[in-house]
Structure 1
Amino acid sequence: MADMHGNSPKTLRQDLLAQRKQFAASSTYSASKNAVLTGLEHFLAEHRDRVSSIALYCPIQDEIDLRPTLLRWSKEESIRVLSLPFARQDKHLDFYLWEQGDLLIPSKHGVPEPEPNNPRRPQITPDCILIPCVGWSESSVGNKTHYWRLGYGGGYFDRTLAQLRKAKPNLLCVGIGFDWQKLDDAQWQAQTHDEPLDAMLTESGLLITY
């Protein structure tokens, strides 16, 4: 049972990460993961005219590995490219082109990152960013539904999205997670500085805001 401080984001995060570790070792994990990857393929097919550059992530702490699916996608058309985030000192993210086999350098958080000074891998602003969720929630304002991401607490994605959306209003930001990670208002509520997701992809399919 959670203690009286169980609703603090830090404790909630720890609980969710422990649950995810347990889930990744369970017998139902493989089917759930494959359902998410199938959903990703459908999303990419439906948005083929809108998305030719995607920012993904190197999985840590039992996050779903999207790389095989996205590498297949990128090889289908020469215009399609993939990128990985690099965490700057000011807690913003830059995205650099990534290809299979590139040397990656662990960040101070242990996340494999691209080398920002590689002249063959320039910085880009992707059409779509895929973001792993520790937890997620939804809220409704009028007839519009918003999806929110609980991350690791660094605020990197919120700062980055706030900036990128000004430069690229049609940017698509999709959270990646599982149904069981959904949180209700009693557990967690998005704060004013949190940037909403455009869509949430789980094993049940794609939830999208338009």
Structure 2
Amino acid sequence: MHSNSSKTLRQELLKQRKEFAASSAFAQIREKLISTIQGFLASEGKALSAIALYWPIQDELDIRAPLLSWASGDKGRRLALPYARPDKHLDFYEWRDGDSLMPSKHGVPEPIPNNESRPIVDPDCIFIPCVGWSSSSANGKTHYWRLGYGGGYFDRTLSVLRKKNPKLICIGIGFNWQELDDTQWSAQTHDEPLNMLLTESGLLS
């Protein structure tokens, strides 16, 4: 059982993820998740022009390869990485393989914001790694929620982006064992829901 303290809960989940990433089961599950992403990109990805991804840290699933392959399929497709602003919102800057990045105050590699050849991008789709996740039901529909690192960057950013683009697709990346129940953690009123959640069980929506 995880502690009800969000900070302690995150620490325990990150420790478990580190152990899981070193396990023999991880390689097989990783391939399954990557294959599911490839399937999504081959179908729904045809209608997308800009996808935001993340630079993997702390044993997060590395999804760069399938996204780079998607981008190479059409010169009009763009990828973007998040840049954390001082006001705790994110800007997404165009990213290409080989670009120089700089570490954020949290140690996350980020785009260089004054690079004129890499403008800000409004993504059609955003992939977001989960530390943990939960689900809830309302009006016959299941909603999925992300437990992140606690900074609130994505929730603030998604709230703004969804007003500009109601069709924005937000996909959480997680594992089945990260699922949390109400005794461990539940979403708050400021939390933004995921449109889809990817685990080894598939792409849940």
Indicate the TM-score class for this superposition, using the shorter chain for normalisation. over 0.9
CA drift of 1:42 comes to 1.2
TM-score w.r.t. the length of structure 1 is 0.95
Question: For 1:13 and 1:93, how far apart are their aligned partners in 2?
Answer: 21
Look up the match of 1:151: 148
Look up the match of 1:132: 129
Look up the match of 2:64: 67
CA drift of 1:41 comes to 0.9
Mark the runs of 5 or more structure 1 residues left unpaired by the alignment: none
Q: Deviations over 1:149-199 (max 9, x none)?
A: 000000000000000000011000000011111111111100000000000
Aligned counterparts, 1:80-159, within 5 A: 80-159=77-156
Question: For 1:48 and 1:7, how far apart are their aligned partners in 2?
Answer: 38
SS in structure 1 at match of 2:45: coil
Question: For 2:36 and 2:123, how far apart are their aligned partners in 1?
Answer: 20
CA drift of 1:46 comes to 2.3
Q: Deviations over 1:85-118 (max 9, x none)?
A: 0000000000000000000000000000000110
SS in structure 2 at match of 1:201: strand
Instruction: From 60, 76, 80, give the equivalent of 1:79.
Output: 76
Structure 1 residue 38 and structure 2 residue 35: aligned?
yes
Runs of 4+ with >2 A deviation: none
Q: Deviations over 1:26-58 (max 9, x none)?
A: 000001111111111111122134322100000
Structure 1 vs Structure 2 CA RMSD: 1.0
Question: For 1:113 and 1:48, how far apart are their aligned partners in 2?
Answer: 24
**1:35/1:204 contact within 8 Å kept:** no
Instruction: From 188, 197, 201, give the equivalent of 1:200.
Output: 197
Q: Report which stretch shifted further, 38-47 or 18-27.
A: 38-47
What residue identity is the alignment partner of 1:43? F
TM-score w.r.t. the length of structure 2 is 0.98
Question: For 2:133 and 2:84, how far apart are their aligned partners in 1?
Answer: 22
Q: Report which stretch shifted further, 39-48 or 134-143.
A: 39-48
Structure 1 residue 175 and structure 2 residue 147: aligned?
no
SS in structure 1 at match of 2:166: coil
Question: For 2:34 and 2:11, how far apart are their aligned partners in 1?
Answer: 25
SS in structure 1 at match of 2:39: helix
Look up the match of 2:44: 47
Question: For 1:64 and 1:23, how far apart are their aligned partners in 2?
Answer: 11
SS in structure 2 at match of 1:15: helix
Mark the runs of 5 or more structure 2 residues left unpaired by the alignment: none
